[in-house]
Every structure is written in structure tokens, then in C-alpha cells.
């Protein structure tokens, strides 16, 4: 299994950060056909066949992790680039 990790420091209050994450979530769902749901106030899960990931936040850090199955392994660089673009656009 191949993994993409994106970690960013942030300066937003948690509630404002969650609004930004909702924008990220919407863009990622649209681009990659993910289903997502908040598991807690600070942990978002998203998935689709062959991929699963999460966004975890706290007062200082944003961390996105995406696990790719073998069939998507060769496209890791493309997925990382797309996700980085979305994250950088909103954070």
C-alpha cells in the first residue's frame, strides 16, 4: 500500500479551520469521487474503492493521510499533486 502524507502548520481557530476543511473536503470529493464523514470534531475520514484517508486537526497542525491500493500506486505523484493544490488553495 502506498501512502501520501501532507502536514501543515496553521494559525486558524478550530471552527474556522473546520470550515476550510469542508471546502477541501468538497473539492476532494468532487475530484476523486470520495465519500467522507466527520468521525469527531477533529477527525475526518474519506474513502472510495482503492483509497482511504483522513484529515486530522488540532490547534496547530493539519494532517492529511491518503492510503492507495496497489491499483493506484503508479498514480501516487498525480494524486499528491492534485491534493497539494487543493490544500494550498484553502489553507
Calculate the CA dihedral of residues 11, 28, 89, 74 and round it to 10 degrees.
Answer: 110
Query: pTM of the predicted model, to two decimals?
Result: 0.88
Domain count, the chain: 1
Residue 22 belongs to domain with CATH number: 3.30.530.20
CA distances for 76 relative to 2, 11, 15, 66, angstroms: 7, 29, 31, 10
Q: Which residues of the chain have pLDDT under 70?
A: none
Residue-number span of the structural domain to which 24 is assigned: 2-90
Q: What is the DSSP letter of 63?
A: E
What integer pLDDT is reported at residue 31 of this predicted model? 87
Tens of pLDDT along 11-35?
999 999 999 999 999 998 888 899 9
Number of residues assigned to the chain: 91
Amino acid at each position: 500500500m502506498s501512502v501520501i502524507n501532507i502536514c501543515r502548520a496553521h494559525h486558524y481557530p478550530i471552527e474556522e479551520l473546520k470550515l476550510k476543511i469542508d471546502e477541501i473536503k468538497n473539492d476532494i470529493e468532487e475530484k476523486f469521487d470520495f465519500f467522507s464523514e466527520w468521525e469527531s470534531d477533529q477527525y475526518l475520514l474519506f474513502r472510495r474503492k482503492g483509497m482511504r484517508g483522513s484529515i486530522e486537526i488540532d490547534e496547530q497542525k493539519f494532517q492529511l493521510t491518503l492510503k492507495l491500493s496497489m491499483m493506484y500506486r503508479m498514480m501516487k505523484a498525480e494524486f499528491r499533486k492534485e491534493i497539494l493544490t487543493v490544500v494550498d488553495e484553502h489553507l
